[in-house]
Amino acid sequence: MTVLLGDCLEQLQNIPEESVDLIYLDPPFFTQRKQKLKTRDNSKEYSFDDSWESIEDYKQFIKDRLEACKKVLKKTGSIFLHCDKSASHYLRVALDEVFGMNNFQSEIIWTYKRWSNSKKGLLNNHQNIYFYSKSKSFKFNTIYTDYSATTNIDQILQERVRDENSKSRYKVDENGQVVLGKEKKGVPLSDVWNIPFLNPKAKERTGYPTQKPILLLEQIIKIVTDEGDTVLDPFCGSGTTLVAADLLGRNYIGIDTSEDAIELTKERLNNPIKTSSHLLEKGEKEYLTKDETELAILNSLNALPVQRNKGIDGFLREYYKEKPVPIKIQKPNETFEEALDSLLFASQKRSCVLKVLIKTKHEDNLLDFITQEQPDENLIVIDSYDLIIKNWIKSHGNVEEFVTQ
Amino acid sequence: MTVLLGDCLEQLQNIPEESVDLIYLDPPFFTQRKQKLKTRDNSKEYSFDDSWESIEDYKQFIKDRLEACKKVLKKTGSIFLHCDKSASHYLRVALDEVFGMNNFQSEIIWTYKRWSNSKKGLLNNHQNIYFYSKSKSFKFNTIYTDYSATTNIDQILQERVRDENSKSRYKVDENGQVVLGKEKKGVPLSDVWNIPFLNPKAKERTGYPTQKPILLLEQIIKIVTDEGDTVLDPFCGSGTTLVAADLLGRNYIGIDTSEDAIELTKERLNNPIKTSSHLLEKGEKEYLTKDETELAILNSLNALPVQRNKGIDGFLREYYKEKPVPIKIQKPNETFEEALDSLLFASQKRSCVLKVLIKTKHEDNLLDFITQEQPDENLIVIDSYDLIIKNWIKSHGNVEEFVTQ
DNA sequence: AGGGAGCGTGAATCTGTTC
DNA sequence: CGAACAGATTCACGCTCCC
């Protein structure tokens, strides 16, 4: 949990060897020009020099720092080097030399849509991130994504065999029925990541040049570290990596040569803002957080979600007796009674008539309540789909039969 | 319109200097293993060797051939070098050396989804194509694509100005309103190309290893050549480049060291088969047959949506008694009985045990059914939240009280 | 238009060879 | 004879065009 000022080449000497699980580097690019950017209110200008004598100089500069990085990286650790098109090939040669060709794991393509002034040629809509591990036994957490829309999931569930020509065939039993295989987990994450470029208007924007979206960093951190692991960013800039590490419960170390950057980083760490990108909310499931379940329930009711309200999660689009109809979904850490009380309290304040409570948890001592009279005749209590299924299974004996493998 | 047998290093000597508009190379990758593949009917096996003494040998091999290519390329011509992750960085260094860093135009990322997937780490779902021109005055035809659905059209149409710090800003009038610019043609083509990988079932397949989709080559040919121009492929393999050039009315020259390849290429040119990709033409959305309500219900159940099966809308992620649990949502144009029948039929075929039916419509004549015995003891019928609320209101009299305001 | 064939990738397992 | 290694073979897998 440190942020250090200085050249990482020197600062890395003070970090214990083999103590870091992930290093993410976003070094200055070889663009041969000065990067400048002002804060929104023009009060401050950040800048740093991106110019080098030659591409060989640049490569050596990076290589020296990569060597220092390798020292502090654990045997099971990984390094991610973020490049742009100008010099990605030279940087990768440097990585090959320091970490070894065999430890190359992936070239991650970060793609985004960007409105940019048209030049002759193709629009530049991606950047490259090279993923190397320190050894063969590197830590990796597979993230599973949904199947493609073109995939016949029904068929995915079928078991297969190989025939005499070693061609794969779907297995059928003696009656010609398909045979189903084990549970499937989904499709492992690809090396092409479609994550929106930081919107210039987004709150996340700090005004520091080359800032990367938190989502990109979160994904990297998730796949190669666990909670409590240590993340290092030797060119931390505005501190996106550290903010992401912090949000995910990882320890972090940041280094930068610029006092401005260090100051800004510390500020951001005190007050992290994550952009909730519209695109991500709609499309990409892998970023869904816990309360997405809630949102899904509200969506299936075609209800308007409400934020920051203890007793009400949403309202139906229709009114009943000229009053809005509030909906409350029981939270995992809430008893039924607590949920009910907070709904009734909130509804009364707004003088709503009809109210809906979605029950998501089974509670034995509730049997009393259900057989009793309803405490409010204009209350609808609905068991969630999930709960109904769980209850059915429970009442049919073996709950153990119903397991995620 | 020639197809030549032999090493391109020699064959290129016989081609007039500065006579070619586009060179596409798909040289053997540095995979260090033998590539082989059989034709569908097992009649023929194609193979070639992808192994090299060292990466330096490989790089020199390519560099020699790039030099020869440069000679025959027109001043306005371009070269596209197709690489995969194994050695793309060394190849690009070679390109820098032969054509000059300044003539680098784009790194094209060809991304696709592919069936095969078992790997510690991220799935390899892209290949790299380096686009260099011979000079600054290279030929280029801009292709415009539709604005992506997630793009904020408003922003694209806004006019922009540069302020005193040469920073780009959206132009506003004296009232602070944004000013709309001239009509735009669309978004110029990106450097990330999503083109389906040649599918195992595609008729276009020849059985030749590493065969590329015609669509990929067509896109390359379109952006840097006009009709009547000449396209050269020094490692033509199964001849995809030549077929694409032919289909687009360009002249072509192909070279390969393998007699099999030359023979196959000639055959294909006589009878070009191009697979039309429904996925590419219609987009992924076409496959998404579920409407938002259905998806919301499946989401709230944390179920996998099934896009392509009759009788089943999704599967729970957990198995019950080692069998998947299908979910069916009653459609607006479906009676309860129809929905039930199709679910039961589909479940039986897959020998599923537990099944879930979400009822979304009230039907009076169903009273019989509900009071009767369930037709299947392992069936759970759940009223949708919506239906429960509607039923409640109905039973409490005034439906007119329930209105959208 | 719903259902299914067939591929090639990378791992895990098996087999063979050497000391 | 056993261990260590290398090479060969087997295995599981999801995508999408075809019928």
Give the tens place of pLDDT for each residue, B35-64. 556 665 666 666 655 556 678 888 899 999
Chain A residues within an 8 Å CB radius of B150: 113, 196, 278-279, 282-283
What is the nearest nucleotide to B199, using C1' and CA? D16
* Same domain membership, residue A323 and residue A212: no
Residue whose CA is minimally distant from C9 C1'? B116
CA–C1' B34–C15 (A):
21
CA–C1' B331–D13 (A):
33
Domain holding B38: CATH number? 3.40.50.150
Contact criterion met (CB below 8 Å) for B329 and B383: no
* Same domain membership, residue B335 and residue B226: no
From A45, which residue of chain B is nearest by alpha-carbon distance? B165
Helix A88-99 and helix A55-72, axial crossing angle in degrees, nearest 10: 40
Of these ranges, A17-31, A170-184, B226-240, B310-324, the one predicted with the greatest mean pLDDT is B226-240
User: Is the CB of residue A150 inside 7 Å of nucleic acid strand D?
Assistant: yes
User: Is the CB of residue A168 inside 7 Å of nucleic acid strand D?
Assistant: yes
A188–B122 CB contact, under 8 Å: yes
Residue whose CA is minimally distant from C12 C1'? B118
Is B171 a residue whose pLDDT tops 60? no
Of these ranges, B253-257, B319-323, B364-368, the one predicted with the greatest mean pLDDT is B253-257
Q: What does the pLDDT look like over B132-146, one tens digit per residue? A: 999 999 999 998 876
Q: How far off is chain B from A243, nearest CA to CA, in Å?
A: 24
What is the nearest nucleotide to A146, using C1' and CA? D14
The DSSP secondary-structure symbol of B178 reads: B
* Same domain membership, residue A160 and residue A266: no
Q: Which of A26-40, A118-132, B307-321 has the lowest mean pLDDT?
A: A26-40
B385–A382 CB contact, under 8 Å: yes
> Nearest by CB to B300, which of A117, A196, A297?
A297
* Same domain membership, residue A331 and residue A272: no
Strand pairing report for A73-83 and A126-133: antiparallel
Report the pLDDT averaged over residues A3-9.
92
From B302, which residue of chain A is nearest by alpha-carbon distance? A293
From B359, which residue of chain A is nearest by alpha-carbon distance? A385
What is the nearest nucleotide to B210, using C1' and CA? C8
Domain total for chain B?
3
| Structure-model confidence comparison of residues A404 and B404, the more confident one | B404
Contact criterion met (CB below 8 Å) for A130 and A80: yes
Average pLDDT, chain B: 84
Closest C-alpha among B99, B98, B76, B104 to residue B229:
B76
Report the pLDDT averaged over residues B106-124.
93
A93–B89 CB contact, under 8 Å: yes
Q: Is A14 exposed, middle or buried (0-12, 13-18, 19+ CB in 10 A)?
A: exposed
Q: How far is CA A23 from CA A134, A234, A241, A251, in A?
A: 11, 8, 10, 12
* Same domain membership, residue B246 and residue B295: no
* Same domain membership, residue A166 and residue A155: yes
pLDDT on residue A283: 31
* Same domain membership, residue A254 and residue A131: yes
> Nearest by CB to A89, which of B89, B125, B293?
B89
Q: What is the pTM of this model?
A: 0.83
Which strand C bases fall within 7 angstroms of a protein CB?
Answer: 1-11
Q: Which of A298-312, A338-352, B66-80, B97-111 has the lowest mean pLDDT?
A: A298-312
A385–B105 CB contact, under 8 Å: no
Q: What does the pLDDT look like over B62-108, one tens digit per residue? A: 999 999 999 999 999 999 999 988 889 999 999 999 999 999 999 99
B306–A153 CB contact, under 8 Å: yes
User: Is the CB of residue A157 inside 7 Å of nucleic acid strand D?
Assistant: no
CA distance B335 to B309: 18
| Structure-model confidence comparison of residues B179 and B262, the more confident one | B262
CA–C1' B53–C5 (A):
39
CA distance B81 to B332: 53
| Structure-model confidence comparison of residues A366 and A331, the more confident one | A331
| Structure-model confidence comparison of residues A364 and A76, the more confident one | A76
Instruction: Among B228, B256, B280, identify where a domain stops.
Output: B280
Written as six digits, the tokens of B83 are: 């690489």
Report the pLDDT averaged over residues B222-245.
97
B382–A388 CB contact, under 8 Å: yes
* Same domain membership, residue B33 and residue B116: yes
Q: Which of A56-60, A85-89, A218-222, B288-292 has the lowest mean pLDDT?
A: B288-292
Is A279 a residue whose pLDDT tops 80? no
CA distance B44 to B258: 14
How much of chain B, in percent, has pLDDT values that exceed 90?
Answer: 49
Instruction: Among A232, A248, A280, identify where a domain stops.
Output: A280
From A325, which residue of chain B is nearest by alpha-carbon distance? B402
What letter represents residue A54's amino acid?
A: S
* Same domain membership, residue A194 and residue A47: yes
User: Is the CB of residue A156 inside 7 Å of nucleic acid strand D?
Assistant: yes
DSSP string for A96-118: HHHH-GGGEEEEEEEE-------
B107–A115 CB contact, under 8 Å: no
pLDDT on residue A400: 57
From B290, which residue of chain A is nearest by alpha-carbon distance? A149
From B88, which residue of chain A is nearest by alpha-carbon distance? A89
Q: According to DSSP H, which parts of A301-360 are helical?
A: 336-349
Residue B217 exposure: Cα atoms within 13 Å on the Cβ side: 28
Report the pLDDT averaged over residues A97-108.
94
CA distance A272 to A267: 9
Q: Which residues fall within 8 angstroms of residue B281, CB to CB, at 6 or more apart?
A: none
Helix B88-99 and helix A88-99, axial crossing angle in degrees, nearest 10: 130
pLDDT on residue A376: 76
Closest C-alpha among B153, B273, B162, B132 to residue B215:
B273
Q: Which of residues 132-191 of B touch strand D (CB under 7 A)?
A: none
pLDDT on residue B178: 46
Written as six digits, the tokens of B153 are: 């059209």
Chain A interface test: which of B41, B123, B343 (most A C-beta within 10 Å): B123
Q: What does the pLDDT look like over A158-181, one tens digit per residue? A: 887 766 666 667 777 766 677 777
A296–B296 CB contact, under 8 Å: yes
* Same domain membership, residue B84 and residue B37: yes
Instruction: Among B245, B263, B280, identify where a domain stops.
Output: B280
Q: What does the pLDDT look like over A145-161, one tens digit per residue? A: 989 989 988 888 888 77
Closest C-alpha among A144, A149, A152 to residue A187:
A144
pLDDT on residue A194: 94
Is A205 a residue whose pLDDT tops 90? no
* Same domain membership, residue A220 and residue A162: no
Q: How far off is chain A from B268, nearest CA to CA, in Å?
A: 26
pLDDT on residue A268: 82
Q: Give the confidence band of A258 by pLDDT, cuts at 50, 70, 90.
A: confident
Chain A residues within an 8 Å CB radius of B404: 317-319
Angle at B65 between CA B59 and CA B70, to 5 degrees: 120
Q: How far off is chain A from B134, nearest CA to CA, in Å?
A: 14
CA distance A180 to A172: 9
Q: How far off is chain B from A383, nearest CA to CA, in Å?
A: 9
Written as six digits, the tokens of A297 are: 């329930």
CA–C1' A174–D12 (A):
23
Is B309 a residue whose pLDDT tops 70? yes
From A39, which residue of chain B is nearest by alpha-carbon distance? B167
Contact criterion met (CB below 8 Å) for A79 and A138: no
Region for residue B321 given its phi and psi (left: phi exceeds 0; alpha: psi -120 to 50; beta: otherwise): left
CA distance A218 to A152: 31
Is A348 a residue whose pLDDT tops 90? no
* Same domain membership, residue A133 and residue A40: yes
Is A321 a residue whose pLDDT tops 90? no
CA–C1' B112–D15 (A):
10
Is A277 a residue whose pLDDT tops 50? no
Q: Which domain holds residue B253?
A: 2-142+189-280
CA–C1' A153–C4 (A):
12
CA–C1' B121–D2 (A):
35
A316–B389 CB contact, under 8 Å: yes
Residue whose CA is minimally distant from C5 C1'? B201
A125–B85 CB contact, under 8 Å: no
Chain B interface test: which of A81, A108, A150, A194 (most B C-beta within 10 Å): A150
Report the pLDDT averaged over residues B116-139.
95
Chain A interface test: which of B152, B284, B389 (most A C-beta within 10 Å): B389
What's the longest Cα–Cα distance across chain A?
A: 83
